[in-house]
Amino acid sequence: MEMAISFQTSLKPSLSLKNSNLKKPISFSSLLTNQIFGLSSAVNTRRNLSLSNGLRFSERSLIKCSVTAPTEATTEEKTQLVRREDVRNIAIVAHVDHGKTTLVDGMLRQSKVFRDNQLVQERIMDSNDLERERGITILSKNTSIFYKDTKINIIDTPGHSDFGGEVERVLNMVEGVLLVVDSVEGPMPQTRFVLKKALEFGHAVVVVVNKIDRSSARPEFVVNSTFELFIELNATDEQCDFQAIYASGIKGKAGLSPENLADDLGPLFEAVIRCIPGPRINKDGALQMLVTNIEYDEHKGRIGIGRLHAGKLQRGMDVKVCTTEDACRYARVSELFVYENFSRVPVDSVEAGDICAVCGLSDIQIGETIADKATGKPLPAIKMEEPTVKMAFSINISPFVGREGKYVTSRNLRDRLYRELERNLAMKVEDGETADTFIVSGRGTLHITILIENMRREGYEFMVGPPKVINKRVDDKLYEPFEIATVEVPEDYMGPVVELLGKRRGQMFDMQGLGSEGTSLVKYKIPTRGLLGLRNAILTASRGTAILNTIFDGYGPWAGEISTRDQGSLVAFDDGTTTSYALASSQERGQLFVKPGMEVYKGQIVGIYQRIGDLSLNVCKKKAATNVRSNKEVSVVLDSPLEYSLDDCIEYIQEDELVEVTPASIRMCKNPKLSKKGR
């Protein structure tokens, strides 16, 4: 697993089963929890009632949901709708790293998708380079398998909260979800988000307590806290009585109880068939399909993906493509595919209820409806939550412009950014104050960083400013986004971590002891602004042991000034090539990003100053040659330079600083347009 997420898993302190039920809420916590999560006392009463009603772990019956169904359609619609029994459409949703993609691997393997001798890599669905490099899923992906005679269309979704938009969107295609929860961690912030969305859609939910093979697994705690989450999210009684399946995706085993796992994922497949209803379709109705995803293919062009809501789709068919009722155009379906096992398979026709891919509609957009040529009507548009963070993208204005990139002009940049909107629905792009600047808004810094990383791989060269949160004005008052930050930290480092969060206007509302190893779980409500740069600071303060998770909570009144960085930058004084001689004295002023022999330019950030404010340095100074030979050459050992990744640089820069991004390098510099006089 790569650095970007390694602290999510590898540094995770193991938790002991012995004290798995140990929950030590600080006395003021529950009061505040209720205020912040908006739990009414009625909900609490219901929780107590339901708990005492015997739905707790030990008393739950093993087999559930013979009758679970999603929210019923209106009576008028219902008369025309029939349920397809030979298909299931499911999305796998969870918090980051709880094992979704690995579970899909297991499902694919067991349905004999691969040849017996085929060498199969891990996490096969994480198919793009960036996903494999970072070890996270970024884009949702479709596949399908056959279990007995039922086709199960499976969508693997990303777990990181910045990609919540992707999950929200694909929920339009399914009737149910597998809510995967890590058997040690239990429900985490993104578990809450995806469950909330699934319940809003009225989807059936099967809870998969995953990674049950972990030695510190605590299934009882996990099922109980998941149950409490259902209650908090106002799930119906029927939804709360969910089917729990215990599984190890990595070993390909599942069972109805943690002690009794089958040798395969059979119990999980059975639960999908039993608990998640087939799609309810209008078989003979007029053709309707909401395009929920887009793929590109070099030869086929844009491919629209979605679930066929009504009617039948055929190759060569003329259709209407509608954005709204008044905005429709005509097109012809050139090719048609369904997802079978791990690839797209061409077919002549698709029946309502199945998920398919449609070619030939060259300008198709996500959210549009492919409808009957004569009588077709658009389906309701896809709803999305608003972006919370924005960054300014501009053309590269450093002296090194054009050396490493293929696309450098503002036209190139503009076209690429606006193109991104076609698939990235949760993102927004606006023209900035000057012709060379564009404002990109997303659901978090990572959401935008992935775009930056993709663009540099495609050959673009540009500059980005620091992330800023998107504020709102309500009744002339300033509101800003807040998030819930959950930090798991060993008690030894509690002090510095609490201090950091306090400085950033975080308000603690819950604290629990976890396990026997002196680890605590603290929850804060904190302005999104305060989170910028926090991850690195927390890792430093806790020597890499703390785990930070955040999720958007809502808008609240402006919390006041926050100062996030108390160190300035070391800035190159002039253009040139760095020398060991100059760096030896420069490193006494702070930590450097550069090593000897590197070309730098005036205004480039070459290090972190150990004090507040910036300091200009000559990092290219050569030792003066004298006629006097010295016998006292002192050799200086240079510290190895700091290696900052793109994510680190973006976290580091402040208001008057920029990150220069090219296919070959990532540099930081002072923004010449905002330059202050250095000392």
Ligand X SMILES: Nc1nc2c(ncn2[C@@H]2O[C@H](COP(=O)(O)OP(=O)(O)OP(=O)(O)O)[C@@H](O)[C@H]2O)c(=O)[nH]1
Report the site for Mg ion in 474-493 (rule: CB under 5 A): none
334 or 486: whose CB is closer to ligand X?
A: 486
Report the site for Mg ion in 45-104 (rule: CB under 5 A): 100-101
94 contact choice in ligand X, Mg ion, none (CB below 5 to 8 Å, kind-dependent): ligand X
CB of 250 to Mg ion, least distance (A): 13
- Interhelix angle 219-232/189-201, rounded to 10 degrees, is 50
197 contact choice in ligand X, Mg ion, none (CB below 5 to 8 Å, kind-dependent): none
- By the rule CB under 5 A, 579 interacts with Mg ion: no
- By the rule CB under 5 A, 449 interacts with Mg ion: no
- By the rule CB under 5 A, 190 interacts with Mg ion: no
96 or 170: whose CB is closer to ligand X?
A: 96
535 contact choice in Mg ion, ligand X, none (CB below 5 to 8 Å, kind-dependent): none
How far does Cα 218 stand from its chain's mean position? 26
Q: Which residues of this protein are in contact with ligand X, per CB under 6 A? A: 1, 9, 94, 96-102, 123, 136-137, 158-160, 210-211, 213-214, 248-250
**Please, are residues 480 and 469 in contact by the beta-carbon 8 Å criterion?**
yes
250 contact choice in ligand X, Mg ion, none (CB below 5 to 8 Å, kind-dependent): ligand X
Cβ partners under 8 Å of residue 88, min gap 6: 150, 151, 152, 153, 175, 176, 272, 273, 276, 278
User: d(Cα 392, Cα 464) in Å, to the nearest integer?
Assistant: 6
The residue type of 443 is R
20 or 153: whose CB is closer to Mg ion?
A: 153
648 contact choice in Mg ion, ligand X, none (CB below 5 to 8 Å, kind-dependent): none
98 or 447: whose CB is closer to ligand X?
A: 98
**Which of 299, 314, 402 has its CA nearest to residue 358?**
314
26 or 250: whose CB is closer to ligand X?
A: 250
User: d(Cα 551, Cα 617) in Å, to the nearest integer?
Assistant: 40
Strands (E), 318-426: 318-324, 327-332, 335-340, 343-346, 349-351, 355-359, 369-372, 389-395
Taking CB atoms, the residue at the shortest distance from ligand X is 159
71 or 127: whose CB is closer to Mg ion?
A: 127
Q: How many residues bind Mg ion (CB under 5 A)?
A: 3
**Which of 142, 112, 115 has its CA nearest to residue 127?**
142
> In three state form, how does the secondary structure of 492-555 look?
HHHHHHHHHHHHCCCEEEEEEEECCCCEEEEEEEEEHHHHCCHHHHHHHHCCCCCEEEEEEEEE
Q: Check residue 634 and report its DSSP letter.
A: P
Classified as helix, coil or strand, 418 is: helix
CB of 92 to ligand X, least distance (A): 8
CB of 446 to Mg ion, least distance (A): 14
9 contact choice in ligand X, Mg ion, none (CB below 5 to 8 Å, kind-dependent): ligand X
CB of 118 to ligand X, least distance (A): 20
CB of 583 to Mg ion, least distance (A): 42
- Can you read off the two tokens belonging to residue 278? 């087939």
124 or 359: whose CB is closer to ligand X?
A: 124
CB of 316 to Mg ion, least distance (A): 37
CB of 156 to Mg ion, least distance (A): 6
Report the site for Mg ion in 95-154 (rule: CB under 5 A): 100-101, 137
CB of 23 to ligand X, least distance (A): 24
Classified as helix, coil or strand, 409 is: coil
CB of 125 to Mg ion, least distance (A): 7
- By the rule CB under 5 A, 210 interacts with Mg ion: no
194 or 229: whose CB is closer to ligand X?
A: 194
User: d(Cα 450, Cα 446) in Å, to the nearest integer?
Assistant: 6
Cβ partners under 8 Å of residue 677, min gap 6: none
User: d(Cα 14, Cα 184) in Å, to the nearest integer?
Assistant: 8
User: d(Cα 126, Cα 159) in Å, to the nearest integer?
Assistant: 12
- By the rule CB under 5 A, 456 interacts with Mg ion: no
122 or 492: whose CB is closer to Mg ion?
A: 122
- Can you read off the two tokens belonging to residue 205? 């939910």
166 or 657: whose CB is closer to Mg ion?
A: 166
H/E stretch holding 522? strand 519-527
Cα distances (Å, whole numbers) of residue 365 to 145, 237, 368, 420, 521: 27, 38, 6, 12, 43
CB of 180 to ligand X, least distance (A): 7
347 contact choice in ligand X, Mg ion, none (CB below 5 to 8 Å, kind-dependent): none
- Can you read off the two tokens belonging to residue 344? 């797209």
249 or 378: whose CB is closer to Mg ion?
A: 249
- Give the binding site for Mg ion (CB under 5 A): 100-101, 137
